Amino acid sequence: MKSSKAQDKISLAEMARRSGAMLRRGDSTRFDWSASGSSPTLADLTESLFFSPGDGRIWLNDQRMLLIHSSAIGHLRRELIDTLGMARARGLLTRAGYVSGSRDAHLVRQRWPDGDAAAVFMAGARLHALEGVVKVTPTTFSFDIDRGVYEGEFTWEHSSEDDEHISAYGIGTDPACWSQIGYATGYVTTLFGQQVIFRELECRSMGASVCRVVGRHAAAWGDISEDLRYLEAQDFRSLARPADPIVPVAEAPAVERVGEAELDRHAVVGASSAFVSACHLLDRVARTQATVLFTGESGVGKEAFARRLHRISPRSELAFVAVNCAAIPEALLESELFGVDRGAFTGATVSRPGRFERADGGTLFLDEIGMLSPVAQAKLLRVLQEGEIERVGGIRVQRVDVRLVAATNVDLQAEVRAGRFRADLFYRLNVFPIHLPPLRERREDIPLLMNHFLRREAQRHGRRVAGFSARAVRALLHYDWPGNIRELLNLIERGVINVEDGAAIEVHHMFKGEALGALSVLALSSQGELVEPEGEGQGIGNLLGHLRGALGVPVLDLPDLEARLLHEAVQSCGGNLAAAARMLGLSRAQIAYRLERSDAQQGRTQGRSP
Ligand SMILES: [Zn+2]
């Protein structure tokens, strides 16, 4: 227990080190509250929240969120207190808040790795408000990570936890914003990689008009055993980590990481119930010698599953041989699988073993097994029945010990009924079928897969990538994925290659000809209303639509539009032509010429009008 905690501290400190200059120092005097301040601004964060009412999901970037009645949480809180007592309920809620704050810190670090220190720090307060929990106003804050200094004082207004606490218990003598204290502690501690402790000195539940909280570096508080009592529980630290640890994708590839990248090239990643139940079946059958048949659409990861099965099976030390039956010409398939004896046919000048012989003692994976010819089917049946193979043109049979794993994206039973696949072979293969669901049926795995592939591809291509933009996340979460995981991987690889160094992947970096379809998604406008998100990266079509909508006209008049842009720019620069030209990417001479031309055109139009 003790050693694992020490390890956590090392890895957190390591994370802080890796973050480089980003979060070393900052303070409230240098924090720009305006909407145009440094990223992440309030608008940036608001844009990360979006609603997908059609399929029952709300997202904050790639984290699924819930819109839940404050009174329901209040009810749960009261039951926890009544069942467990004040202290234990407080611990549970503090830790749940910590998880939430820690998740938000991960999100902000990942999305804005080079963000302004104070803005990144204040993003926690803004997210806490955006999530409807509490309004946070800093009185003062300053931090210097290198010197291990953190000091912050905040007021909390409209605390939702106080609302519920007061309505259940009235005004008392103790502070009640437990999960909110957990959130603040989780956010700042995760962000800095150093233990920061928050305490609520005044609380509405104690009769104050607003809550007043103070956060300090653990070392500066003196005795924090009382704070830790609510923060520490068995296995709690592991809870605070996302299922797929967020890895600093901003990092350049390091030599020692190549091995890891190689290792997880065929990793299977997911957490959805469909995925977990497939993994559960896989773990169960891997230990046996049974033949396994993977079914599912093309691109769902059948080979990755087959490799995992081999890796956790007793045969893992021996060969794993994969054959895609559809990729080998039918005329060659038999010799490829079973080998050739010299002189079997013209050109067979040497004898060579087939894939079965090469997989002896190990696992042979036959993908797209529905493509086997009737002759190959008969031979395969014989291997399964007798454990013997016969090379093409051979005269003797050979014993092989191979575990067969097959996969198909066609309905083999239908193939049997149509007379194209042997029924006896089908029953031999169908001993232990595992169905792998298409990606659109396990959408909750998309965020995990996105992070996994992003990390892997950024490493592989030596790119520094700041995650995905909010629009890109939206597009990935709502795309239909006809090509499943393989398509997701391809799009992310494309994005990693196309994105500028250090920037976030945008929709147009990934999607080219793919039909994005209408995204039935609502996002928050800056006025806090739910609206259809604008400009989903579909290029000029959307700009046109946007302009038509903004101007309230069905058809755009380009000369008129140009004239308006020119005059607006000149006006906004107080008549300074050079400044207006810069705003439009023109030279002074060019803007003067265009102004003259458009005025002349307007004059002509007016002159001609009756
Ligand atoms: Zn309070």
pLDDT higher than threshold 70 for residue 126: yes
* Distance in Å, CA 297 to ligand 1 centroid: 52
Q: Return all residues near 444 (Cβ < 8 A) that are at least 6 apart.
A: 64, 271, 272
Average the pLDDT over each of 1-10, 200-209, 260-269, 467-476 and give the range with the smallest value.
1-10
Tens digits of per-residue pLDDT, 7-60? 444 444 444 444 444 456 777 776 666 656 778 888 888 888 888 877 788 888
The pLDDT score that the predictor gives to residue 540 is 47
Residue 290: CB atoms within 10 A of its CB come to 14
pTM: 0.60
Position 15, amino acid: M
* Distance in Å, CA 213 to ligand 1 centroid: 8
The pLDDT score that the predictor gives to residue 573 is 82
For residue 187, the surrounding DSSP H or E stretch is helix 178-192
d(CA 113, CA 249): 9
* Distance in Å, CA 131 to ligand 1 centroid: 17
* Distance in Å, CA 75 to ligand 1 centroid: 18
Average the pLDDT over each of 108-112, 183-187, 542-546 and give the range with the smallest value.
542-546
* Distance in Å, CA 89 to ligand 1 centroid: 16
Tens digits of per-residue pLDDT, 155-172? 999 999 999 999 999 999
Domain locations in the chain? 2-30+68-239, 273-436, 557-608
- Terminal alpha carbon distance of the chain: 89
Q: Which two tokens stand for residue 352?
A: 């060579």
DSSP designation for 362? S
d(CA 394, CA 341): 5
pLDDT higher than threshold 80 for residue 267: no
Query: Does residue 190 contact residue 101 with C-beta atoms inside 8 Å?
Result: yes
* Distance in Å, CA 206 to ligand 1 centroid: 8
* Distance in Å, CA 516 to ligand 1 centroid: 45
The pLDDT score that the predictor gives to residue 233 is 57
The pLDDT score that the predictor gives to residue 493 is 94
The pLDDT score that the predictor gives to residue 9 is 41
* CA-based nearest residue to 328, from 362, 371, 297: 371
What is the average per-residue pLDDT within 95-109? 90
- What mean pLDDT, rounded, does the chain reach? 81
* Distance in Å, CA 99 to ligand 1 centroid: 19
Find the length of the chain. 610
pLDDT class of 518 with cuts at 50, 70, 90: low
What is the rounded (10 degree) CA torsion for 101, 103, 109, 110? Answer: -170
* Distance in Å, CA 177 to ligand 1 centroid: 4
The pLDDT score that the predictor gives to residue 609 is 42
pLDDT class of 524 with cuts at 50, 70, 90: confident
3-state secondary structure of 322: strand
Domain 557-608 bears CATH identifier 1.20.1420? no
Query: Does residue 191 contact residue 224 with C-beta atoms inside 8 Å?
Result: no
The pLDDT score that the predictor gives to residue 119 is 87
Average the pLDDT over each of 197-211, 267-281, 389-403 and give the range with the smallest value.
267-281
d(CA 5, CA 9): 6
* Distance in Å, CA 77 to ligand 1 centroid: 15
Query: Does residue 125 contact residue 195 with C-beta atoms inside 8 Å?
Result: no
The pLDDT score that the predictor gives to residue 603 is 67
The pLDDT score that the predictor gives to residue 265 is 56
The pLDDT score that the predictor gives to residue 194 is 80
Distances (CA, A) of 211 to 154, 159, 176, 444: 8, 8, 10, 37
* Distance in Å, CA 204 to ligand 1 centroid: 5
The pLDDT score that the predictor gives to residue 234 is 42
Query: Does residue 188 contact residue 180 with C-beta atoms inside 8 Å?
Result: no
* Distance in Å, CA 464 to ligand 1 centroid: 41
* Distance in Å, CA 174 to ligand 1 centroid: 9
* Distance in Å, CA 87 to ligand 1 centroid: 16
Kindly report the backbone phi and psi dihedral angles of residue 44, in degrees, each rounded to the nearest multiple of 5, phi listed first.
Answer: -60, -45
442 CB-contact burial (10 Å; exposed 0-12 / middle 13-18 / buried 19+): buried
pLDDT class of 69 with cuts at 50, 70, 90: very high
Alpha helices in 54-170 (DSSP H): 70-84, 86-111, 117-130, 160-169
pLDDT class of 537 with cuts at 50, 70, 90: very low
d(CA 293, CA 411): 12
* Distance in Å, CA 171 to ligand 1 centroid: 11
* Distance in Å, CA 162 to ligand 1 centroid: 5
The pLDDT score that the predictor gives to residue 394 is 79
What is the average per-residue pLDDT within 196-204? 95
The pLDDT score that the predictor gives to residue 204 is 95
* Distance in Å, CA 53 to ligand 1 centroid: 33
Q: Which two tokens stand for residue 540?
A: 């000029």
* Distance in Å, CA 215 to ligand 1 centroid: 14
DSSP 42-65: HHHHHHTEEEEGGGTEEEETTEEE
Max avg pLDDT among 484-488, 540-544, 574-578: 484-488
What CATH number was assigned to the domain covering residues 273-436? 3.40.50.300
Is the bond preceding 40 in cis, omega lying within 30 degrees of 0? yes
* Distance in Å, CA 97 to ligand 1 centroid: 14
DSSP 243-303: SS----TTSPP-GGGHHHHHHGGG-----SHHHHHHHHHHHHHHTS---EEEE--TTS-HH
Output 343 or 372, whichever has higher pLDDT. 372
* CA-based nearest residue to 496, from 484, 487, 483, 506: 506
* Distance in Å, CA 186 to ligand 1 centroid: 17
pLDDT higher than threshold 50 for residue 236: no
Tens digits of per-residue pLDDT, 334-345? 888 988 887 666
* Distance in Å, CA 212 to ligand 1 centroid: 8
* Distance in Å, CA 221 to ligand 1 centroid: 20
* Distance in Å, CA 48 to ligand 1 centroid: 27
The pLDDT score that the predictor gives to residue 554 is 65
pLDDT higher than threshold 80 for residue 283: yes
* Distance in Å, CA 214 to ligand 1 centroid: 12
Output 234 or 439, whichever has higher pLDDT. 439
The pLDDT score that the predictor gives to residue 277 is 85
Residue 296: CB atoms within 10 A of its CB come to 19
* Distance in Å, CA 210 to ligand 1 centroid: 7
* Distance in Å, CA 66 to ligand 1 centroid: 22
pLDDT higher than threshold 70 for residue 117: yes
The pLDDT score that the predictor gives to residue 525 is 73
* Distance in Å, CA 15 to ligand 1 centroid: 31
**Rg value, the chain, Cα:** 31
DSSP bridge partners of 460: none
Domains 2-30+68-239 and 557-608 agree in fold: no
* Distance in Å, CA 41 to ligand 1 centroid: 26
* Distance in Å, CA 330 to ligand 1 centroid: 73
* Distance in Å, CA 62 to ligand 1 centroid: 30
What CATH number was assigned to the domain covering residues 2-30+68-239? 3.30.1380.20
Instruction: List CB-based neighbours of ion ligand 1 within 5 Å.
Output: 159, 162, 177, 203-204, 211
* Distance in Å, CA 159 to ligand 1 centroid: 6
Helix, strand, coil % over all residues of the chain, rounded to 5: 50, 15, 35
* Distance in Å, CA 176 to ligand 1 centroid: 5
* Distance in Å, CA 124 to ligand 1 centroid: 17
Position 324, amino acid: N
447 CB-contact burial (10 Å; exposed 0-12 / middle 13-18 / buried 19+): buried
* CA-based nearest residue to 368, from 315, 410, 404, 329: 410
* CA-based nearest residue to 112, from 468, 364, 473, 357: 468
Q: Which two tokens stand for residue 122?
A: 């204040």
What is the average per-residue pLDDT within 210-239? 77
Average the pLDDT over each of 376-385, 390-399, 492-501 and give the range with the smallest value.
390-399
* Distance in Å, CA 91 to ligand 1 centroid: 16
* Distance in Å, CA 578 to ligand 1 centroid: 55
- Percent residues over pLDDT 90 in the chain: 38
* Distance in Å, CA 161 to ligand 1 centroid: 7
d(CA 363, CA 380): 15
